[in-house]
Amino acid sequence: MLRILARKLSEILFFLLFITFISFLFIRLAPGDPVLTILNVDELSVSQEQVDALREEMGFNEPLLVQYGQWLLNFIQLDFGNSYITGQPVMEVILTGVPATLELAVGALIVMLIVAIPLGSLSALYRNSWIDHLSRVLSILGAAVPSFWLGLIFIDLFGVRLHWLPTMGRDGWITLILPSLTLGLAISSVYVRLLRSSLLESLSQDFIRAARGRGLSELRIFFMHAFRHSLPPVITFFGVSLGSLIGGVVVIEVLFAYPGVGKLVVDAIRQRDYPLIQGYILIMAVTVFIVNTFVDLSYRYLNPEMKLKERETY
């Protein structure tokens, strides 16, 4: 376990160095000038001397490697800088949107579990039945429909026509229903098919036939043996698709005007707020890495064969 954690620590240090440099470079090379945004050139009469003075003050005249080295030095001291627009510390700005984003992500995962586990399980248990055919059709439709289009349909149906649910903002749990439903249904289609195929493979294993030979009930065989055996591929895929989930949260937050981290970073991109964009990328990268580490550890728990292989390796 200690060797695994040490390896993971070295990996995350290299990963952070790589992702921060690449993102820093691409952000600076993107079109737009934050100095002009800060000075509101379109609304105010600003001289070129003022623009040059502010650019010099913010360090934009330095080479990119020097700018990155200064940012990295501040990051090592846990200083993410201040937002160009609001002047607040970047971490403080991001933390204001974290609760809303976590609520939306958890709500979407709950919807995904409610949809994917029953449909995937029933499809595997009643293979080639009408339930199986229906779940496969629904999963294909879910994968084909973009999440933003599904969100627009929900807004038009439940918000505009029926007036059942609010479609914008964050004001209690009721405003979480439509965005969570939109994102949860969008990601559940993949897990329905993955869980179905994994369960079918598990149910064909020799240990399932041995369990039936010992007289165990089908319910116990399914949940205690087949279902657990089918989880590692699903959990592994969740770790891989976490980036897509984060991207989906960004789209849904903008669509429903939900004040989370995703909407914050979209506004920051529009305003060329470099420190806020850089801080968001860094925090999301660390989040993805930590989740993938927990996925790896849980995979070792769910699949004892990995422990045996590691012992043989070391």
The per-residue pLDDT for range 255-284, each reduced to its tens digit, is 888 888 888 888 888 888 888 888 888 888
Q: For residue 194, what are its two tokens?
A: 């993955």
Asked if pLDDT for residue 35 goes beyond 80, the answer is no
* CA angle in degrees (0–180, nearest 5) for 33-34-38: 130
Asked if pLDDT for residue 184 goes beyond 80, the answer is yes
Asked if pLDDT for residue 298 goes beyond 80, the answer is no
Asked if pLDDT for residue 305 goes beyond 70, the answer is no
pLDDT digits (tens, 9 = 90+) for 193-223: 888 888 888 777 777 778 777 877 777 777 7
Asked if pLDDT for residue 249 goes beyond 60, the answer is yes
- How high is the pLDDT of residue 248? 67
pLDDT digits (tens, 9 = 90+) for 68-107: 888 888 888 878 888 887 888 888 888 888 888 888 888 8
Helices then strands, counting H and E runs in the chain, come out as 15, 0
CA atoms in the 13 A half-sphere facing the CB of 121: 14
Phi, psi of 89 (to 5 degrees): -60, 140
Residue that the structure tokens 């940012």 belong to: 71
- How high is the pLDDT of residue 303? 59
- Closest C-alpha to 287, from 246, 250, 258, 252: 246
Asked if pLDDT for residue 247 goes beyond 80, the answer is no
Asked if pLDDT for residue 304 goes beyond 80, the answer is no
**Max Cα-Cα span within the chain:** 86
Residue 51 contacts residue 237 (beta carbons within 8 Å): no
Please indicate, yes or no, whether the overall pTM of this predicted structure exceeds 0.85: no
Phi, psi of 82 (to 5 degrees): -115, 150
- How high is the pLDDT of residue 67? 83
Asked if pLDDT for residue 309 goes beyond 70, the answer is no
User: What percentage of the chain has pLDDT greater than the value 70?
Assistant: 87
Q: Looking at 3-12, 148-157, 158-167, which range is the least confident one?
A: 3-12
Asked if pLDDT for residue 314 goes beyond 50, the answer is no
